Amino acid sequence: MSRIPTAPSLPEPTPEERALSQRLTKLIRAEIARAGGAIPFARFMELALYAPELGYYSAGKHKFGAAGDFVTAPELGAVFAQCLARQCAQILSALPHGDILEAGAGSGALSVQLLLELERLGQPPAHYFILEISSALRARQRALFTENAPHLLERIQWLESLPSAGFRGIVLGNELLDAMPVERFRVAADGVTQLQVGWEENRFVDRQLPARSTDAIPGVVWRETLANDALRDRLTALGLPEGYISEIGFAAEGWVRSVADILEQGVLLLVDYGFPGHEFYHPQRATGTLMCHYRHRAHDDPLMFVGLQDITAHVDFTAIAKAGTESGLSLLGYASQALFLLGCGLDDIAARTSQSDARAYLQFTNEVKKLTLPHEMGELFKVIAFGRGVDTQLAGFRLQDRRGRL
């Protein structure tokens, strides 16, 4: 069976955007044809987001901030980075000559703000690596450093894949895991069906097929082979009712394991939106968490505007915690973003923020509200940390540590 999605009311793409989307559509249609009529949703999502020069994150489309499709914490201002810098400084003080590796740096706003604050704190990393597969985003990141902190460029090195084993320092990912491809499934009366994508009546459509194995894609570090047993075993353990639709983030779990392989000593620090497993697969969340973002409008149809919109899924932090600990990392903390930022000294930053400029102070208070209020980013966003060879109790978790809820 198939479902033809109903398009929500969204702004029309420009002719140039439509041309780009048509080129990507042609590429995906060719893969669907080679696969016999359908490909797993995870592969569709991977191509839609990361196909070289055509995918959402690979092409040159402006994505971040007011002129893009969504806003991340660093785009709001410097407060997020200032708090995060205090946590990084604590870790780096225990790791002489330690480095920072930021995976998926987006516009580069966090990189610039974080390094400037670490410089002010007297605790800069030996090197700052940016793992970025998009040449367009690498160029934008370099331009932002050139404009705002040219003296820091000598510390920056761009990477297209994780470094080899022996990394010492901090691996940082802000809103990284939510953009990794997910498998979608539906619980049916006769067993689990894997949601796949086909092409019918001149458009992409959902197809439900029995869960089957897919081959790993060479050159994509976070792509992981999905076997029947992996999907079925996970779903059997969850005991979900018939008709339930959701996602499993095998790629995100695989990426955490890849970081564990290269981390000799240091901390993996991840910030993202999501839930522990028992909330992620809650009975009332029966249609999953998949969301799309296009020009600051959110909707749930990933099959339209291919390559022009972001496709995301919330993070199952229980699965991420298990992936890290089973790979030999210690789980150092898990907290809401609001209490993590407060643990990192948000109150001190507020105290030293001048109120003489009314407009600047209003912007600061609005930023703090956005980052910390429960109905904004404060509760939905979580921070999870793993470590190896690090004994320090991380400051960000001094006010709250929910490891017991995972």
* DSSP line for 46-97: HHHHHSTTTSTTTS----BSTTSSB--HHHH-SHHHHHHHHHHHHHHHTSTT
Phi, psi of 273 (to 5 degrees): -95, 140
Instruction: Calculate the alpha carbon distances from 186 to 36, 223, 283, 385 in Å.
Output: 21, 22, 13, 31
| Count, residues in the chain | 406
Q: Are 366 and 360 contacting, i.e. CB atoms less than 8 angstroms apart?
A: no
CA pair distance 19, 4, nearest whole angstrom: 22
Per-residue pLDDT of the chain (406 residues; tens, 9 = 90+): 333 344 457 888 899 999 999 999 999 999 999 998 889 999 999 999 999 999 999 886 655 545 544 567 888 889 999 999 999 999 999 999 999 999 999 899 999 999 999 999 999 999 999 999 888 889 999 999 999 999 999 999 999 999 989 999 999 999 999 999 999 988 877 777 788 899 988 888 887 765 544 433 332 222 223 335 667 777 777 888 888 999 999 999 999 999 999 999 999 999 999 999 999 999 999 999 999 998 878 899 999 999 999 999 999 999 999 999 999 999 999 999 999 999 999 999 988 888 888 888 888 899 999 999 999 999 999 999 999 999 889 999 999 999 999 9
Q: Contact at 8 Å (CB) between 287 and 245?
A: yes
Q: d(Cα 393, Cα 334) in Å, to the nearest integer? A: 12
Asked whether 317 and 382 are in contact (CB, 8 A), the reply is yes
CATH dotted code for 2-51+179-260+273-310? 3.40.50.12710
Nearest 5°: the CA angle 89, 93, 99 is 75
Structural tokens at position 95: 């790791």
Q: Judging by DSSP bridges, how do beta strands 167-174 and 330-336 pair with one another?
A: unpaired
Give Dmax (Cα) for the chain. 67
CA nearest to 320, candidates 377, 354, 280, 378: 280
Would you say 49 and 187 are in contact if contact means Cβ atoms under 8 Å apart? no
Question: Fold match between 2-51+179-260+273-310 and 73-178+327-405?
Answer: yes
What is the C-alpha separation between 81 and 76, in angstroms, rounded?
Answer: 10
Buried b (16+ CB within 10 A) or exposed e, 76-93: bbbbbbbbbbbbbbbbbe
> Where does 73-178+327-405 sit in CATH, by number?
3.40.50.12710
What DSSP state is assigned to residue 154?
Answer: G
Is residue 266 within 8 Å of residue 169, measured between CB atoms? yes
Which of 13, 377, 39, 330 has the alpha carbon at shortest distance from 178? 377
300-303-309 Cα angle (round to 5) = 70
Give the separation between CA 399 and CA 87, rounded to whole angstroms: 14
Here the tokens at position 200 are: 């019918």
CB 81 within 8 A of CB 110: yes
Q: What residue segments make up the domains of the chain, in order of their start?
A: 2-51+179-260+273-310, 73-178+327-405
* Contact criterion met (CB below 8 Å) for 187 and 286: no
What lies within 8 Å, CB to CB, of 25 at 6+ separation is 204, 306, 307
